[in-house]
Every structure is written in C-alpha cells, then in structure tokens.
Amino acid sequence: MQPTPMTQTDAAVFGRLIKPDHSDFSPTAAREILSLQFDDDDKARMHQLSLKAQEGTLTPDEQAEIESYRRAGYMLGVLWSKARLSLSRAGLGAANGHHT
C-alpha cells in the first residue's frame, strides 16, 4: 500500500496534536528532540530521489518514498520548532540543543 501525501488536513491534525505554539517540552526533552535527524543513508537516499525528481524520472514507488521523507521532514521540523521555543522560553536558547 502506497502512503498518501500529507494533506493540509494531515498537517492541521499534527499541529493540533503537538501544539507547536506551546513551549511545554522540558529542557531535556527539547534537547533530545533537537538531536533527532536523518541518518547518512537516509540523507543519501533523499539526495538520489531529489535528483531523479528534478530529472522527472521517479517511479511511482520512488514518488511514494520521497513523499514519506517529505512528511517525516515536515513533522521533524515542527517538533524542532517547538523544542527551540521551549528552550528559548526556559531561558536556555536553542544553542544548547544539537540542531541548529
């Protein structure tokens, strides 16, 4: 079964779930979230897929795969944003986290 692209509704539901405008992650949790990132194999695969997308040669399975990466990246970005906000409001700043 192929994953479906994240829709505006998906993004809205995810946003309501984590409440990105609330800074309620503990400093420890925020730092852990900021340390989350794609591993080197995933980064290499995303790069390969990106090149194929630019060439217009993605297969349907590759299109589904790149959409999965896109959705995961979106969710990770929202979590990072909330983590940085949580650290900032705790007076610690995002510099104490691992993601810049």
Please give the full DSSP string across 10-78, using - where no structure is assigned. Answer: HHHHHHHHH-TT---S-HHHHHHHHH----HHHHHHHHHHHHHHHHT---HHHHHHHHHHHHHHHHHHH
* Nearest alpha carbon to residue 75 among 4, 12, 3, 27: 12
Counting the structural domains of the chain, the total is 1
Give the pLDDT confidence score for residue 67 in this predicted structure. Answer: 92
* Residue 89 within a domain: yes
Report yes or no on 8 lying in a domain: no
* Residue 6 counted as domain residue: no
Please determine, for residue 13, whether its predicted confidence score (pLDDT) is greater than 90: no
pLDDT tens track for 17-56: 887 777 789 999 999 999 999 999 999 999 999 999 999 9
In which domain, by residue range, is 34 found?
Answer: 26-96
10 belongs to a structural domain: no
Residue 13 lies in a domain: no
- The Cα–Cα gap between 35 and 29 comes to 10
In a domain, 45, yes or no: yes
Let me know if residue 17 belongs to a domain: no
